[in-house]
Structures are given as C-alpha cells and as structure tokens.
Structure 1
C-alpha cells in the first residue's frame, strides 16, 4: 500500500517560531525524471553554517538545484545521491573561494532521503543525525567519521549512506544538533502521534531549533508539509517576524570541528501537489541562530529598518577562516585552474617581489667537472705515521723498563722482608700487564687514526660533494642537473661511510634528494605500518572502502578483513569475518583469485565480492555467512578467470587463457544474465594479461611484460571495437629525455582512482613506486614513493599489492606487512 509522508519542521530563532524552514524540500518525481528515478520521492534537508550571508531565494535555489541533479542522473541510486551532494559542494566551494579575501565562508550539512515503496535510503554529508522511531525499536544514524565536516570545505566529498525499511506509523527525525533537553524524548519516544511529539520537543526547551519530523501513514503516496507555528491559547497561530539583526557569530573552527546542531519549531500546513515542489512561505527575513548556524538569511526586499541598519558603519575586518577551505587573495591572480585550492600562508609576498629580482648576468657555459679521485696522503699524514711507529717502539721499551723496575721496587714496599728474600710478580700480574699495556696502546692508536687518519679522506669527499652541489645549482639542463645531484649523493655516501653523518652531510643529502625529486616528478608520502605485528602472509590483492581494508592471502585464496584499531593506531584483523574457499550450499568455491569492494547498497548486502578461477562469485559481509552464486558461463565456457572489475554496475571478467573479457550486466549487485563478448569480432592477443581496469567504454589491460593495451568498445554494429596493442606511455618530464623510465619498470598491477580527478595508477613493484597517468592520453603526471631515511618504515623489497580507498588512502603490501599513507594527491 502507498505511504503518505507528513513533514513537520521545527524552526525557532531567538525564541520565535518561524513558519517555513529554508533548505527543506519534499518532492514527488517529475514527469521528466531520468531512468531509474521515476518512483523516487525525495526529501532535501540542507543546513548552512558559517559567517557568510544567504538570501532566502539563494538558500532555496541551492536545495532545488540539488533535487534537479538527483532526478536527472541515471544509474545507481547512490550515484544520483552523490551527484546531488557534489553539486552543492561545488557551489559552496566556489562561493567560499570568491569570498575568501573577506574572511567569509559557508559550510553545508545535508541529508537526502529517498523513498521507494517501503525502502528509505539516506545520504548524509556533515555531522547530521537521523532518528528512526519504529513500532518496536529505534535507531540513531550518526557517522561523522564517514560523513565528514560538511560540503564546501574541500573538493573531497564525504558521504555516509544508510537504508531503512519504513512502515505506517513510523517517524523519522532529521536534525543537526539536538538540545540536551531532548535526550529523554529521543531515547524514549513515548508520544504516539506527530502532534504530540512536536509539542513535546518544542516545549522541552527554549533554545533555537532547526529539525524536521516525518510521519509515515497509509494513504495514496501524498506528501504534506505542515506549518511551522503551533496553535496558541486562542486557537490561532502567531504571526512571527524574525529579528532583523545579525546574531553574534561563533568561531569558524568551532563550527567545523565541533559542529553545533540545530533545533527548529513547527511549520504551517501546506499540502504539496504531486510532481511539483512544495510551496515555501518566505518570512520577511531569516536569521540562523548563532549557536549552530552563523549565516543570516536576508530577504531581497529591504525594509525601512534594514535601510537604517545598512546606513550604519560595518565592521569590515576579516573573520576567522577555516584552514580546510581554499582561499585566494584579491590582489593576486592564480594561473591555471581556478578550482585549485591556494592556502593564504602559501601565497608569495608580492611586496617583496622586487627585492628578489636580480639583474641578469652573462655567464660562460658551465662545464661538468669530473670529480677528482682521492689524493695521495699529505706530508703531514706521513709524518704522523712515522711518529706513531716511533711511539710504538718507545712504548715497548718503556714496558720492559717498567717491568724491571717493578721487580726491584715492589719488595721494598712490603714489610718483614729480609735482604736475601727476592720478590717476583705473580704469573697473573705478568699476564695482566702483558695484555693491558698493548691494549691501551691499540686504543690510543685507534683514537689518533680516527682523528688524524680518516678526517682528511672525509674532508676530500665532503669537498667534492659540495663542489657538485654548487655545479648542479648553476646548471640549466635538467639531464645535467640530474647527474650532478646524483653525484652529490654518491660523495655524501662515501664521506659518511668513512667518518659518520654530520650536519654538513645531512644538509647536502636533503638538498640533493629534494632537487632530484622535483626534477623526476616524485612525490614522497609518509607511510605508517597498518598492524602492530607482521602478518606473515603473502598478500596478492587488496581492496579498500572508506573504513575497511580487505586482503587476499595468496597461499590459500582467503580474504581477510581489517578494521580501524580500538586505539586508533592502524588496523586490526576481524577474526569473525568469513570469506574463504569451501562448500556453500550446493556450490563449491575454490581459492579466490581477485576481490573488490561492493557498493554500499546492493540486494545481497555484501561488502566484499570475490571470484575463483571457475567463475564462482562469493559475496561476503561482516557477521554473516558468505553466499556463493556462480556466474552464468559464456558460450565458450571458462578457461581460467584471473581478474575482474566493477564499473557502472557492470562486471568485467578476464579469462586470459581464452583471450576473452566477458561483460555481465548488473542488477543491484547480482549478475544473473548471460554475458556478452567485449571485443566483438576482433580478438587481440591477451593470453599474458595479468590485470585490467575499465572507465566507461575504455578498457585498459596490463600484460606480464609491463606494457599496456587499450580497447574502446563500439556501440555501433557497423563499427567494430578498436584496440591498440601496445599503447604508448608518454613521459613529458625533461629530466628523463635520455632514459627509458617505463622500459626499466616492473609493472604488476593497474588501478583507477575515483572521480573527479580520475587517474590511472601503475605499480612498479621493484622500486616501490606508483606512477600516475592521465586516462586515454596515458601521459605521466607524477610518481608516488615512500619518504627516505629513518622516517621511512617501509623495508626494502618488492610490493606485492596496492589499493586506494575512496578517502584517498594509499596502501602497500611489503614483506607480510601493510603500510598506508593518507591524503594521496
């Protein structure tokens, strides 16, 4: 039976209840809804915090644009929700960049609720709360770790998805931050009706409110939005005009890091027409309360009071600005992409530019000076050696003389010794003297050698390193610079091996490494061990979600799950997770050969999908028994499945022995239809393909010898699918012009990062490097490598597998341990 939805806003500012809540929309699907959105009813609940000014029409327009983006995006439900959230994020981010010079910003907290029959899907960005009050249970949905700080702070989009099965009589409460007085009601929702709950929540506290209650009842599928003002004693509603003043503003950092949430009063009853957005009654002005939302809403029509207030002088001093929001200075233009984030403290001081400009001088071409070999020992060194040899001989003579003197002198110190008695040292004393004196001499000689023998050689190598550093700084040819900086590192190593690391060698090494990385396009990333102890397993594949990490044990084909540790330092294994070969019902699953994470919403509620060599899929989830479902075999039957990938809901399966890539059309995470052949009539050579990725209609295949081949699927029957084998990799970095970087690399795995800045990653296992390429053109962008020196915990050795999470975390598997680095570019 269709369900009716009744929404009651709770919106109060400065003790006054406001009739309509800005940023709240309740929509039935329009007639021109995209495919897959025809039956979706959408609730948009947008809250804004910050210190910028938003008019009522701007507020509603942002919410309406998000709804339009949802209804005009085809594909998976989560993809449409993400498109709506991404649109708001871009709008707010652009506005923040434009107003950064004035110290103004805005952060959006967003809850999107999609209802399809009895299923309610939630998308939450920012620290939002959702309470579900069912017949026999309640549920509190609040995941700030995955939903992030809000929209408009950065280009990274953080979303938490959740699903609920709702029935008639259920109630949902959407809000930002609940007042303390609501704790008893939220933990024990005793009122059985919508009006009773509204009155209870609004009368419990007098603080500002911003929330929405939704009541589910049996009906014809209608949407109804109630008025936001409760009845007074006389049975009438109060006409409320919010104050015209701007409230005091909280610190920006507090609004971002410890979001204060909203409370709101009730709203006037205005039933929505089907297939049309609800009518929203605008008050004269809207002011968000300073306790949680510091953006005053201003109506476009300025009243006489507003004109007087506008004539008063305003404080134009810049306000605190969150460090996570990109900023620009009005006096400086940024060359390149305007969406690039520029931090204030990273901008150059334009007042000192003239001081840094030097008059150009004509210099003669610099020639590369070949390093000199270590010189012969100086005359001083020879004289020192002669002195040491003479000292050794003198020491021996002194040792003999002292022994004779002791034999004659010691008896005189002893009492009651007669003249005829003779005294001779014991054998132990003589042994101690024979060992101790030469040992002392050796120690003295070692100290003298270290001070006077090794120092000249150290000075020679240090001087050569400094000479090569000065030469590299003067060169303009990138190739010559590269070789000079390598020579600096060579002579620094020799100096430290002979003597020890000093402040001079450490400074030279850091200077050479920084300049080499800049020339070679290398970005160093600080990695940390994921586990407190070594796992001791050979990891062949990894897959990562926003919170979990999955590892494939190459020895037995079992998938392991790692979750963040309780001490928030790294990860720990989930010993209850079961995803391994075995008998599941009537199907036998062999060792898994590949794994991938599943979309958050799928019909089987699985988080991980594995496949064995015979095409059997294994759906796994925490706390559940794994479920096996074989893929329908292709017409030629299976040879051996070696890899698979998921793109836009479709599954691409690689059978390299049969020279085939089979495509299965997905249905909410299941693949029950027979596949079609990707290549059509053309079958390129690919028996040696070890990995693949798919982006739209483009297929990229990595071969065992490290080269790539690409194919573009043709949807026109008269035009066959085109393939290029090999596909050339392009290196535009000038310092590599005389070398073949790709020819010496050992590529073992290929990945595709998430949108919007999508790039192709190739793992060079031997150098522990990850090379980033642009899709289609395959042009090298940069290399990602661990840091050098003592700060790098990653041991030497090849990398077995890599993974990249949607939260830009890069994982490396090396020698039975996993290492991770955050904020991957």
Structure 2
C-alpha cells in the first residue's frame, strides 16, 4: 500500500478538576487479520462516554468498547453500514441493561463517536449530543447538529445516528469530545494544531475547564500506523528522554520558556564550551515546588548552551565578514586612499548580506519543498490508480480509486497542474463508471440576494417552472419566476406566518397542489400546530385554515404531502401520519394511516406518498416503506427498514447506500415516477425506482460554493435544483 497517514491518539480526561491519566472511554484499533469484507484498510477510533445516575465500572466500559470494535470489524459492506450496525448492537445491549436495572434510579445512556480512517478519508458516526472538529491549516470543520443529535443509546429500539465525511491531510488534528468548551474557538484550535504534544493538554484543558472527556488525534504522513498514548507517558518521554527532531513528541520548543521572568538573574558560572558571559541561571524561591524548580534547570541546561553558541558564531561570522568585505573592496577600487567607509556602514552591509542570502535560500527551499510534496502525492496517486486497474474485487477496486483521488487532492493542495487535472478526471471517470454517476454542471439560479440569515430548507417546482422556496429560519416562502436566463424573485408574493381568524405560525413544510384545486392555490404550507395556508402568486388573500383535529389530539406536525388530492400530515409526537381525504375536506377528522401497530416515527424527517405507498425518511438516513389499507383483516403494513437493491458489482440489498446518509426525499410524479434522495454532505442526489432499486446518482461537475445542501427539487420538465443555505443552483437533468 502507498504512503498513508499515521495516527497518534491522546485521550484527555478531567473529572472535577482531577486529570485522569488512563481514561477508559477511548479505544483505537487497526484492522485485525480476519476482518469482514471491506474492512481490511479501516482504522477505527471509538469514543464512548455515559451519562445518567448509574456509572459503569471501568471493566464494563472496556467491555462495551471492545464489543463495538469486534462488531464493526466483523461486518461487511460500507463503512457507514458497519458503524451503524455496531451502534445498533450497542443500543440493544444498553437497552437490555436498562430494562434489567429498571428498579434503580435513572438510566444508562451511551454517547458515542466512531471515527473510521480509510487512508486519507474520515467517516464519522455520532449518537447523542457529542461533538467533533477537524482542524486543518486553512479551516476548521465542526461536526455537531443540536437538532438531530438525539439523546444517545439505550433509551429505545430506534438507534439515532448521524454521519459526516471529510478528507484528511498530514498535520490535521481531529478532536472527539462529549462537551464543547467555549474557549475552543477557531483561532485557539489552530494554536493547538501547531503546538507540540506536551503543550496540547495545556491548550485544550486550561484551568477554567473542570470536567471534560475527549480524544486528540494527530495525523502524520507515514505508513498507516496507529499509536494510543497516555498523557502520563507523554510527560515522561518528553522530560526524561531524547526524541528525534520533527517527531510528534518533539521537545525542542515544549521546554523553552517564551521569555525570562523577573526572577531571572545573570551570573558568571563556568560551563564547558560556553563563554562565561552567556550563561543564565534562575534563582528559585524557597516556596517553589520541585516541578517548578526543575523548569529553570531545564532552561539552563538546554537553552543557554545553544543560545551562547549561536551568539558566539554570529559574532565571529560578522567580524570575519567585515574583514573580508574590506579587503575585497580595497582590491577592487583603484585608489584605496579615497575609499574610506565608516565601520557602522560596513557592519550594516555585513549583516544585510547573510540576511538576503537566507531569505533567498528560504524561498527556494519552500518552493522546492512544496514541489517535492506535490510530486510525492502525485506519484502515490499514480501508483494507487495502477493498483486499482490491476485488481478484480469491485469493493477493493473502488477503495483504491478513492484513495488515488485523495492523493490527487493532497497533491493539488500544494499546486494544481495540467497533469493533476488529467489524473483527477481519469480517476473520477473510473469511479463514476463503477458507481453509475452522472455529473451535473450547475449554474446559479437566482442572482438576487436573499434577506440575511435565509436558509432554504424546502423547494417545490410548478409545472410552469416557477420555483417556491421555504426559508427555514423565518418560516416564510419565496416565489421565483423563470425569466429564460435564470430566476427572479417575486417582490409581491407573500406566504408565511400570519395572524387572522386562524393564527398561522412559521411554516415547517410546503407542498405543491394540483392545478384547479378547490383552494385556488399553487402551494400549501403547514405550521407545527396543524394550521395550513394556501398561497398563489397575484392573490393577496391566501387561504388559511386549521386542519381537523385527530381523535387523539395534535402533537407536533412536521411534514405534509399530497397524493391524488388527498393530504398526508406527519405528526412525530403522536407517532402518526394523518390522512385528510379531499372528498371530506381538510376540516374533517383525519384517518390514521396506521392501525394499532405503527413504526417508530419520532425521528422521521421527511416523507412522500405515491398511490397509497408511504416512504418515510428517518434521521439516520434509513427509509421505512408502508402500504395503506382500511381493511381490518389486512391492515396497513410496513417494511422497516426498507431495503435498497443495489445492482452494482459487490453490493447487495441493504438499508443503506455506500457511505451516504440521506436527509431529504422527493417523489417525481408520472410519467417518470421515481424517488430522489439527497445526501447533503456530498451535495449529491440519488435516484431510485419506486421499488427502491438504485438507478444512478447526480454529482456536481465542479465543487459548489456554500454550505452543505439544505434542499433540492426535481421538476417534471427535467430540471434539478439544489440549495446550499441561501445559494440556489439549477441544471438540466442528465439523460
């Protein structure tokens, strides 16, 4: 295997101001000899903490960590599928424990982070209110979502997880933590990334932090090794041993005080090989601890000989330079009696010349250094691509191509060349063929600026091409008109919170209404209290109504959709889907989609309906498919989870798709009835048949500027739309 990243793990734990040197919340593991298919190159890091009235023993914590690692490496398939399976297994274990110990006060809740590193790619799973951040030279990526964090593991049958992905480079720092201190700002974390390992604890755990459980992971170019270290061992190694220069435990700066304190005095002490006037000694106070007294001794024994040697060498160099420069200029000039230059000027020239030489040498060094790094990563990319072409196993081939692409990313971090562009295009073509990918050339759809803090969370497209966009921040809707050269915002359109005989709050979802509907509206909006508003361009008086109240009352309505003129409303609090038949009107009491038995909908985030078939998308990216029935002898039934049929070589039916986590779902109506799912983190749309057979996926041809995707839409006129916060793009749908 070509050069990969070495991982250095440092668990960090402080409990009630006490630093714990051997925390039992972290376990790092390379792949075992006998790993499941697709696990051979995976390195796993697990960070597991607990909250609740009951605290597991260290032995129990160790057992749970080992259980997660074994479960992960036994699984086959994608990394996210294996991580999800491990999290679900642990959830079952903790749920059993809580039920068996229900007589005790409180419950045991697991807060889990799982990080998988495949060469230079990070796959991250989180369950519960945990945090992660990836500190890189040019940015810091934060991985946390308070709205979808969930409560953790062990509280119910459903396992709430979320996934993230990122590229990794040498010198990156990954932090996994159960809390996130306010002091960890961007600037602060970049100082941590640049600091030595010994200073890491001081930076991450200042005295203001009383309790925290985290793990610090440092990346270094190497051959894929992983090393877990304790803070205690790091201290011993740094203080008592010599460490190779440039290594992670480089002590060259860790032991050097930034400046001399007021207690520092100059004395004349004979030190072999060092001028007497260059020695510094610190006078310790009587009340200082042994550790405090040792610090000046390290400074005296380590820094001063180096400083003195540098001073002496500099002095001798300047004197020699002055003499040489004087002799040279006397020989060059015809009349040395006319040439008298003050010594101060000669000194200035002598000092300037070596500085200029050093500057020029530094520029050359950094240019060549970057060139060398580019060349090494580019060669690694070529070698990995050649390995991919020589292999037969589709799963291994895919991983090799992905690794080659990561090496190209690393090479182009230093510079972009025609050769790197060609290689990137070749690798992307190979991956696209394997994964049935169609590239999309997006263009900005709306040049006008939206109001500040706008985040588009839902889009629907009318048959005439008009675009309706839900602003998740304020709960109002924008209307954009197609002009032939993009879209223009309709300044006169209103649809959103309104106070009338029915108070409509911020809208949580919108759906397109069929033409000629009784509401004379183009779209229908819903708030969380079950109130609806029908809006139409040019109509100043929107339709406002309160939906009929279910027999069990309203919980929290989160989504709505229309199928054959009937309205479906998702109520996550009541774990129900309500059907409002168009023949009875929206004021009538709704019919529950499910009978006595229903799937868990508490974590549902989106839904669509086609001819009575309900597709519910959950927070963890899993789909539940249900078919409606009003026959008592044959009630509504569900496939939970619904399995995706993947026709690609090396794949089979599964509840997940590669390493993707779906966040939005949309139904494309006939004649090309099918389902689209959005992977927000990759700005990618996945296309499936109504039987959930994978057809293809749509990926941007070039990276899009903005945040991860927040909404998408596909029109019957074969146009696709993608929103990244307040940036909206569109493109023709590829054939």
Give TM-score, length-normalised by structure 1.
0.46
> Residue 781 of structure 1 aligns with which residue?
695
> Residue 727 of structure 2 aligns with which residue?
817
Query: How far 1:457 sits from its partner (Å)?
Result: 6.0
CA separation of 1:482/1:399 partners in 2, compared to 1, >3 Å: closer, same or farther?
Answer: farther
Query: How far 1:617 sits from its partner (Å)?
Result: 1.6
SS at match of 1:633: coil
Contact 2:644 2:656 in 1 (8 A): no
Query: How far 1:810 sits from its partner (Å)?
Result: 1.9
Matched, 1:438 2:352: no
SS at match of 1:712: strand
Query: How far 1:736 sits from its partner (Å)?
Result: 4.6
CA separation of 1:672/1:793 partners in 2, compared to 1, >3 Å: closer, same or farther?
Answer: same
The structure having more radius of gyration, on CA atoms, is 1
SS at match of 1:714: strand
Map 1:436-585; keep pairs closer than 5 Å.
438-440=355-357, 442-444=359-361, 446-447=363-364, 450=367, 459-497=375-413, 500-532=415-447, 535=450, 536-545=453-462, 546-564=464-482, 568-584=484-500
Map 1:139-150; keep pairs closer than 5 Å.
none
SS at match of 1:746: coil
> Residue 188 of structure 2 aligns with which residue?
none
Equivalent of 2:673 in 758, 779, 796:
758
Equivalent of 1:617 in 514, 527, 532:
532
Contact 1:488 1:508 in 2 (8 A): no
Query: How far 1:643 sits from its partner (Å)?
Result: 0.8
1:509-551 C-alpha deviation (Å, 9 max, x unpaired): 2111110121122222122222336534122222222422212
1:619-669 C-alpha deviation (Å, 9 max, x unpaired): 11223222212222232332221111011111111222122222222269x
SS at match of 2:629: coil
1:244-266 C-alpha deviation (Å, 9 max, x unpaired): xxxxxxxxxxxxxxxxxxxxxxx
Contact 1:593 1:613 in 2 (8 A): yes
Map 1:309-708; keep pairs closer than 5 Å.
401-406=324-329, 412=335, 423-425=340-342, 431=348, 434-435=351-352, 438-440=355-357, 442-444=359-361, 446-447=363-364, 450=367, 459-497=375-413, 500-532=415-447, 535=450, 536-545=453-462, 546-564=464-482, 568-584=484-500, 586-625=501-540, 626-666=542-582, 671-708=586-623
CA separation of 1:431/1:554 partners in 2, compared to 1, >3 Å: closer, same or farther?
Answer: same
CA separation of 1:642/1:444 partners in 2, compared to 1, >3 Å: closer, same or farther?
Answer: closer
CA separation of 1:639/1:489 partners in 2, compared to 1, >3 Å: closer, same or farther?
Answer: closer
SS at match of 1:686: coil
Gap runs ≥5 in structure 1: 1-370, 375-392, 414-418
Contact 1:528 1:793 in 2 (8 A): no
Query: How far 1:395 sits from its partner (Å)?
Result: 12
Equivalent of 1:798 in 708, 712, 715:
708
SS at match of 1:810: strand
1:532 and 1:431 map into 2 onto residues whose CA distance is 58
The number of residue pairs the alignment matches comes to 420
Query: How far 1:684 sits from its partner (Å)?
Result: 3.6
2:656 and 2:632 map into 1 onto residues whose CA distance is 40
SS at match of 2:607: strand
1:13-33 C-alpha deviation (Å, 9 max, x unpaired): xxxxxxxxxxxxxxxxxxxxx
Give TM-score, length-normalised by structure 2.
0.51
1:646 and 1:443 map into 2 onto residues whose CA distance is 69
SS at match of 1:552: strand
Contact 1:752 1:761 in 2 (8 A): yes
Contact 1:407 1:423 in 2 (8 A): no
Map 1:243-282; keep pairs closer than 5 Å.
none
Deviates more, 1:777-786 or 1:456-465: 456-465
SS at match of 1:803: strand
